[in-house]
Amino acid sequence: MDNLEKNTTSKKTFVEDVDRSIYDVKDKVNASYQSHKGLTPEIVDEISREKNDPEWMREFRQNALNLYNSIQLPKWGPNLDELNMNDIVTYVRPNTAMQAKWEEVPSDIKNTFERLGIPQAERMSLAGVGAQYDSEVVYHNVREEVKSQGVIYTDMESALREHEDMVRSHFMKLVPPNDHKFAALHGAVWSGGSFVYVPPGVKVEIPLQSYFRLNAPGAGQFEHTLIIVDKGADLHFIEGCSAPKYNVANLHAGCVELYVEEGARLRYSTIENWSKNMFNLNTKRAVVEKEGKIEWVSGSFGSHISYLYPMSILKGENSKMEYTGITFAGKGQNLDTGVKVVHGAPNTSSIMNSKSISKDGGASTFRSAIRIASNAVGSKSAVSCESLMLDDNSRSDTIPVMDIRNDEVDVGHEAKIGRISDDTIFYLMSRGISEADARAMIVSGFAEPIAKELPLEYAVEMNNLIRLEMEGTIG
């Protein structure tokens, strides 16, 4: 690995924590129903009854619970001993039904989303919005011109009732419950999330967005997102997440399944701004058919511990994947992220660009896993990861894995780890820039290639976050 800068700073830099005042405003819990703490067959059945599941889903949940109890915790990533499922409430239903008109959402919930800018974003630049609060979607709306194209965009519960055959044939087929322990947990207690179907040839010109807000302390959020982009169709879907900070553990174990059919394109953008008491154990996976393309754009700026590795299965010839991601790990954070790709057909291609920033003892790990099947001749894959450490207390690791089963491929991996040099800081300060501003400029420049891929409002949010991280006293 090459150093970004040969010079390192011996000076310890103290910076203030992120100003999370927008995200950390807590609402008084006003649930119409919530399950008991823990995870038992009775609790899972109770959730299933409350949600009026069909019988096959009730059985699915119980089978997933059995798998959860038989699968061990992962032993290769950050330690999860602090997470005790006996202390987690797996289902919290807010005191409202889902609304199609914003003014009908209860004022306490509405005020939270107003502070986060969701209604404003909808009015200005989105084709449709879903807003989930704790375990259920509380608001959902989609523009008439999008509906008229035959696009289905709704919450998962409505999809299970109104499009049961389509849901049943796709639900947890890409991420089966036996995939790992937290996929099994998700299968047992999932609630909320989004369902999207884009018909053949339809191009949704402006994005759809779902926003997930976890408010209750000691609770889990287990939303399921299922998107099917049919032949030749095109969609950009945006996902945002946040939660206030508590002194008890919260858990996020959502699941995202993306089906990109022949000649279709899907861009999936995510900004996860969880608080530092959150365990973020999310699973995301896409399958891409012939000539299709999946684009992942990912920003991870929160949580105490993260396991997050979007996976793409390039099933069809000439299918493509691009991944662009950034991780910002601060004090008390261990963010283990990365990307996985399976080249399962000839002439497939994948490009992965990742950047990570760590400070105040934060730990950032990037894992890449590339598998090229014996029949995937002519395939290409390129990985580039860069890490920037802002002090001597932080840590950054890169762990690449390559499983290449034929010789007619082009595969490359490049990694760089470095620190901000004293010489660069001195040069900028000699031009009249303060030390704090100089450091923020360097970090912003490092992150800029990622920021330009984010939706506008999230790019601004990321740049503000970096600026706030760098404010403080140098000494």
- For residue 378, tell me if it sits in a domain: yes
What are the tens digits of pLDDT across the range 66-76?
999 999 999 88
- For residue 470, tell me if it sits in a domain: no
Average pLDDT (255-264) is: 98
pLDDT band at 460 (very low <50, low <70, confident <90, very high): low
Say how many domains are in the chain: 1
Choice between 171 and 359, residue whose per-residue pLDDT is larger: 171
pLDDT band at 9 (very low <50, low <70, confident <90, very high): very low
- For residue 335, tell me if it sits in a domain: yes
What are the tens digits of pLDDT across the range 276-306?
889 999 999 999 999 999 999 988 877 899 9
The domain in which residue 365 lies consists of: 31-419
- For residue 92, tell me if it sits in a domain: yes
pLDDT band at 19 (very low <50, low <70, confident <90, very high): very low
pLDDT > 70: what percent of the chain?
83
Cα distances from 346 to residues 61, 207, 232, 373, in angstroms, run 37, 31, 20, 9
| Residue from 289, 213, 221, 231 nearest 255 by CA | 221
Choice between 30 and 77, residue whose per-residue pLDDT is larger: 77
